[in-house]
Structure 1
């Protein structure tokens, strides 16, 4: 069910949400967190869809704050809609579209709608503030999620995140690496236990996860790691492969098609491994499982990024 409230206030929306749930016989029990989504008009639905899917694993209240990037000529107006039931997955969805002076205080818009005594997570699916921890919504959130891949210059964004990192910051460029990091760690945990002497990471054009993966390998292996994120692909974006060089030969984990990677090692049979490209739902669900600061990501973004050599 979707109920619209044109030209309203946050207080009225909160009161109507209680009324809708009482009349519908539903209660907001079991919600484990509040997810704040900061976005722009016309860009809300993809993020809401991902949140609805993730809510089946993490029941939550979703508050979407949609603010135009440029002036629309509308001043001091808040339009809202409330979605419950099948239109909201296992969550409540509140969409706030703010204009003019009302849009200048996103924190004030959402404070009366937060679930009491529950963690708050802020997510910027698109353009994010320069320093998310100091932004209006970031200041009230335990976890702050960005996505460098959606920015105009993804690689420069990763480098900027390294300079502005605060515990609780997260980025989907790191979350997309979970399968790669798990597989590489498993390979190195098997004999022969020869040291790695160098490593190479390749990806499609300007894919920021490649630089984070190279930084992680740099910190873990303490060997030279190169990163080549200049390969063009017309169909998909992602890591293309990793080469780990030993004296006895190379370990290669190469993506052969969007959902499959091939593992090759000296004197061992070749294996094809399921490595699906991760969508927004996968990334969001993973980040919501861990609301405490990701210390590994913190080390990689702050200490590892400056060490990576990039092949243009």
Structure 2
């Protein structure tokens, strides 16, 4: 590992090249560049997840930590690891302070691996508009996590408003095992589904996306049955035109599949670590049309997949926005009496 304190982007590029030479080509075949935008308190989580993902997808990992953008003094600290604790990847952890953090692309762009796709992942509260972050604009794929937001379901709806082909969310990834089990039930079901119920907490983004997916696939209006007894989605129930009822219920790391007239079956439904979820999203670098259809059904915004996949960067200064918000919230001065 090489540590560079109070350095420059040019020095980071040189140090990465030197470390690659000394490592002897540990990562000679890179599949992509993964740019992770992370809050300081989640850096270790992001490193652990990226290590798992890199085992399946050798990549150049660029972790960007932005701090104190209102600070007058700019500073860049960097750690460079090639084939070390982060597994089979080239990793650069960059901590940016002051106004430099608003121009992270000036450091990141020269570090992108040549001739491979770029995936941008926010392991933090998702941005309101991805175009406000240049690191998202340069990404071929953009991965957010609505569960990190204060209101996860509202964050999902905002993802629909701001959607462009190539966007995805880890809330969608988390229901892949659910979607697999529900879809496999139709291997032996010929009847049309007339009703669907999803049992999940009111603010669970996975439950909301499951409703959107069922609506898009089955052309029905699912019902969300709120529950406060469980921290995440609990069950999916489907009623068919022939009177049969199919129900999938989570029990710890298994799911119980029930069907009218048949014996209950136990199926695996393990909650995966963050790294496995990230690795799943790195398997595909094209637009996920099924996700866009589910998001469209959830939000009521049509034709998301027909939008342009390209965004144009929109400059936004968080410090200036904060001052404007404070000014608008302050009471107006009292008028001078005549």
Normalised TM-score (structure 1): 0.91
Distance 1:220 1:171, change over 3 A: same
SS in 2 for 1:51: helix
SS in 1 for 2:55: coil
81-90 vs 108-117, greater mean Cα deviation = 81-90
SS in 1 for 2:197: strand
Q: Which residue of 2 aligns with 1:256?
A: 251
Q: CA deviation at 1:232?
A: 3.7
Aligned counterparts of 2:270 and 2:3: Cα–Cα separation in 1: 38
Aligned counterparts of 1:164 and 1:280: Cα–Cα separation in 2: 24
Q: Are the counterparts in 2 of residues 211 and 305 from structure 1 also a CA contact under 8 Å?
A: no
Matches within 5 A, 1:115-130: 115-130=113-128
Aligned counterparts of 2:268 and 2:22: Cα–Cα separation in 1: 47
1:276 aligns with 2:274: no
Alignment equivalent of 1:211, drawn from 208, 212, 224: 208
How many residues align structurally?
300
Map Cα deviations across residues 284-306 of structure 1 (whole Å, 9 max, x no partner). Answer: 01000001000111111123433
After superposition, the CA RMSD in angstroms is 1.7
1:200 aligns with 2:197: yes
Aligned counterparts of 1:35 and 1:289: Cα–Cα separation in 2: 12
Q: Which residue of 2 aligns with 1:183?
A: 181
Aligned counterparts of 2:292 and 2:132: Cα–Cα separation in 1: 17
Q: Are the counterparts in 2 of residues 138 and 144 from structure 1 also a CA contact under 8 Å?
A: yes
Aligned counterparts of 2:126 and 2:180: Cα–Cα separation in 1: 29
Q: Are the counterparts in 2 of residues 83 and 94 from structure 1 also a CA contact under 8 Å?
A: yes
SS in 2 for 1:87: coil
SS in 1 for 2:41: coil
Distance 1:232 1:136, change over 3 A: farther
Q: CA deviation at 1:278?
A: 2.4
Q: CA deviation at 1:222?
A: 1.5
Q: Which residue of 2 aligns with 1:96?
A: 94
SS in 2 for 1:282: helix
Q: Which residue of 2 aligns with 1:67?
A: 66
1:228 aligns with 2:225: yes
Q: Which residue of 2 aligns with 1:57?
A: 56
Aligned counterparts of 1:223 and 1:57: Cα–Cα separation in 2: 37
Aligned counterparts of 1:271 and 1:153: Cα–Cα separation in 2: 35
Map Cα deviations across residues 99-122 of structure 1 (whole Å, 9 max, x no partner). Answer: 112111121120110000110000
Aligned counterparts of 2:280 and 2:258: Cα–Cα separation in 1: 29
Q: Are the counterparts in 2 of residues 238 and 277 from structure 1 also a CA contact under 8 Å?
A: no
Q: Are the counterparts in 1 of residues 26 and 83 from structure 2 also a CA contact under 8 Å?
A: no
Q: Are the counterparts in 2 of residues 240 and 254 from structure 1 also a CA contact under 8 Å?
A: yes
Q: CA deviation at 1:7?
A: 0.7
Normalised TM-score (structure 2): 0.85
Q: Are the counterparts in 2 of residues 203 and 229 from structure 1 also a CA contact under 8 Å?
A: yes
Map Cα deviations across residues 144-185 of structure 1 (whole Å, 9 max, x no partner). Answer: 000001111101111111111110100001011111111111
Aligned counterparts of 1:163 and 1:24: Cα–Cα separation in 2: 45
Aligned counterparts of 1:181 and 1:14: Cα–Cα separation in 2: 43
Q: CA deviation at 1:133?
A: 4.5
Q: Which residue of 2 aligns with 1:23?
A: 22
Who wins on radius of gyration, i.e. which is larger?
2
